[in-house]
Structure 1
């Protein structure tokens, strides 16, 4: 797909999500429009029930919106609940995910957890192994490549999860509460890692978080309330 540095990593345009109907109708997202640039790291804040995770899963092509459009790298991928492309194949190639728990495969080493993400996309094993090692090295965890997840600290597991998210060179990385289980020091390290990844790889990064201790690392801060976006705040950097 042809993209340019000016092409947004993702655009959510007039996105709404309604659960139930009539007396049980709940509006989780109400006409939300949001654009994230390639190379930008954005924090998405708000109280529980504000719609943050609903918006993130809509942009992740996991939870289709009721109405509105999702455009990734200039390609219309969702219009309302209607997929315009093969969502699973598109997601494997263009999206990376990091969640509150690293969700590493427990019987695979750190290296293998990253490598398998590329082999699923039919990359030859030798090439996948080399790229996996390069990513672990870049993220400062190559010395733990042969360790199983239970031998890694929480911060180390999240670094492996970030490496896995980067494996297929996605244009967009989505993270849902990735520091919730970490102490303040490790949490800040992970937030700084997302900023580094966005700025160096050119991927757009969206982080849903309640953790306000490291907001200065973000390029942009957007708040949600009652299914709507509030005006963003500039980074403190």
Structure 2
């Protein structure tokens, strides 16, 4: 973990609010949400359905920007007061990796091709992309499945391929939305431990939205959301408590 005296944050979200509609139809989906995630830190975001978790994730992921508030990624101001300070699509592709409840692998591409394509869309050569894809798949324990189609992989293996794809472009931030919802308890824990491994060893800031309370001990920090408001949860024992 980084020093408290000289913090190095992967992401700093300050006072994020998201409002849909106006007047009588106004809905505040998220209000004044603030979170700082250090490089190498893995954070869980908990809360009931409709509490604003996915709204927060899509905001910091630059998919659905906030109505107000600011977002910094690796000390670069990206959004301030709903004003974008860079090309969000390009910045997102270069700096943010996404993993969802379903792996969303392209069914007619092999596992390694699913990882390669993320880099090729970013302008990397096929040769470079294939080499890095293989390195990532070996790192995540699925190198022996490189030439399998997604239909030939288990749910846990598909999620590992999705993680490899998310890591392909050396992202500063990795965002995961209910990544274990379709997995049993054992495989779900393996995926959560994988996020912790990636954060600690790759230096990325990782935020995982989850309803799964069975593996919270692998996280460094826990946040709770309810009715669009966020708070840090000090009551849950996390991995940093054991250090």
TM-score (normalised: structure 1): 0.96
Q: Is the 8 A contact 1:65 1:81 kept in 2?
A: yes
Query: Hey, what's the Cα distance between the residues in 2 that align with 1:132 and 1:145?
Result: 9
Tell me the matched-pair count: 233
Q: Does 1:111 align with 2:93?
A: no
Query: Hey, what's the Cα distance between the residues in 2 that align with 1:100 and 1:27?
Result: 25
Q: Is the 8 A contact 1:64 1:80 kept in 2?
A: no
Match of 1:171 in 2: 172
Q: Is the 8 A contact 1:32 1:228 kept in 2?
A: yes
Query: Hey, what's the Cα distance between the residues in 1 that align with 2:237 and 2:130?
Result: 37
Q: Does 1:94 align with 2:95?
A: yes
Query: Hey, what's the Cα distance between the residues in 1 that align with 2:231 and 2:32?
Result: 12
- C-alpha displacement of 1:228: 0.8
Query: Hey, what's the Cα distance between the residues in 1 that align with 2:238 and 2:149?
Result: 37
Q: How does 1:3-42 map to 2 (within 5 A)?
A: 6-42=7-43
Secondary structure at the counterpart of residue 56 of structure 1: helix
**Ranges in structure 2 where 5+ consecutive residues have no aligned partner:** 1-5
CA RMSD, Structure 1 to Structure 2 (Å): 1.1
Secondary structure at the counterpart of residue 186 of structure 1: helix
Query: Hey, what's the Cα distance between the residues in 1 that align with 2:67 and 2:90?
Result: 22
**Ranges in structure 1 where 5+ consecutive residues have no aligned partner:** none
CA deviations over 1:65-105 (Å, ceiling 9, x no partner): 11111111111111233211011111111000000000001
Match of 2:3 in 1: none
- C-alpha displacement of 1:23: 1.3
Q: Is the 8 A contact 1:217 1:235 kept in 2?
A: no
TM-score (normalised: structure 2): 0.93
Q: How does 1:40-51 map to 2 (within 5 A)?
A: 40-51=41-52
Match of 1:153 in 2: 154
- Tell me which stretches of 4 or more aligned residues in structure 1 moved more than 6 Å: none
